Structure 1
Amino acid sequence: MSFQSTEHYIVSDELALAVNAAVTLEKPLLIKGEPGTGKTRLAEELAQTLGAELISWPIKSTTKAQHGLYEYDAVSRLRDSQLGSDKVHDIGNYIRPGKLWQAFTAEQRPVLLIDEIDKADIEFPNDLLYELDRMAFYVHETGEEVAAKQRPIVIITSNNEKELPDAFLRRCFFHYIRFPDAALLTEIVGVHFPNIQQQLLSTALEVFFELRELPNLKKKPSTSELLDWLKLLLAEDIPAEVLQDKQQKGGLMPMFGALLKNEQDVALVEKLAFMARRR
């Protein structure tokens, strides 16, 4: 397999190499990077390229590793026993397969996305080591073993909010998505807005990168936020001259709410604009 950029998703050569290496090694691909750099989208595009099923497991702070294997619905079984249902004689009726179970028993090799693993408890990655290594697990209630028919392609994403255990990292192929430079961003924008005027794009990227480089900015705008901003600029038919004027004279850029996501950053940009006007 050789994964490359697609019609709707641009990847760097380094990221394409990482995907292909992880597939060859049959190891989970651990992807880190700023929010909004396309980590989740990578799994979606990979599945589409391969014609494979995408099984997505979004992780929350309350997610446990057991949820990915299966859950035993004891409450439903108790209720059915009180109602005299014949279902209670087969405990398998109350076993709910999790995302790993679905991936292991898929007829064709799927892509399993474990999304934002750093949101879970620190023990969560360690609790998955055995299953990810052996590609099998034991169902205690029924006494059966669920083993993978074929090893799924596993993509694990992290926003780097929490350190992951060394034992877990050792079992993964790792790649950090660096923030795209102007040339790669131009390619990405071209996929989404093929008819955008080059002057508008050039000025917008200049403003965007200047904003990201501001010191003390609490949240730097991401690629996805740049695309949202450009979509608004095009929808409102805002010309490049307006952006250039704001850039030269100081002030908040049009539709700034797509780029700045908290009041501290808005206040910082307003302060810098005021100082620029005084000078």
Structure 2
Amino acid sequence: MRESPALVESRRFGTRTVPALRPLGWLAAGWHDFMRCPLPGLLHGLLLAVFGAALFWAARSQFWLLSGAFSGFLLVAPILATGLYAVSRALQRSGRADLAVALRAWRPRDGRLVVFGVLLAFAGTGWVMTSASLITSLAPTPVRNPQDFVRVVLLADQGYLFEIWLALGGLLAAPVFASSVVAIPLLLDREVGVLAAVFTSWRVVMDNPLPMALWAGLIMALTLLGMATLMLGLVVVVPWIAHASWHAYRDLVDTSGLAERP
């Protein structure tokens, strides 16, 4: 049986295995990048924090929608950090970066990143609709605010609504994480197709199950911490995770056989 051209392309370069606690090193390196060039990161974080606050305000009386929207936001967040991957890339190459480096990464000259962003947006939208449908159809009483969600969904005496909601979210989030954990920095950095980048990301996850599980847990914990501080923590958490994700990609993917993008 003939293999997919994208799979063949992804095998042109290798992946590396790393120690289980290596994600802590990525966070340290990401923090160092953030401190070296803070302005782009702070602006990215501020914009996402404002977006999160606006989302909360718009759906404050429809928490069944809000819960899905926030978790869907986590699915598309990697593409929103593209400019910060470019900053870390520039710091690694020349030791210098500024806001212009981050802004140039958003020029619509690379259809591959656009395609990947659209795919993530579809995944996020699908989860929002699934989450809203599940809670509105199975919850015994309307869920309009966080207190209703805790009482009716999380602490319900009967049924397994929260468990079903959590399981469905995990089923969607796991493949999205596996498909994107190194794919977007790879697309930014090297001349490689979208599917080849996705296959590479899956190879990384399969080769490093424990580090990737820890990395996913750290991303989730830091993001929830940022949200719990009335979104203010996202101003720091977003760039920190984004810069760390660049170092994760550089650690996990051997790109020596691929042409660099300018």
Higher relative contact order structure (alpha carbons within 8 Å, sequence separation ≥ 6): 2
Greater fraction helix = 2
Greater fraction strand = 1
Using structure 2 for the length normalisation, give the TM-score: 0.24
Which one has a bigger Cα radius of gyration? 1
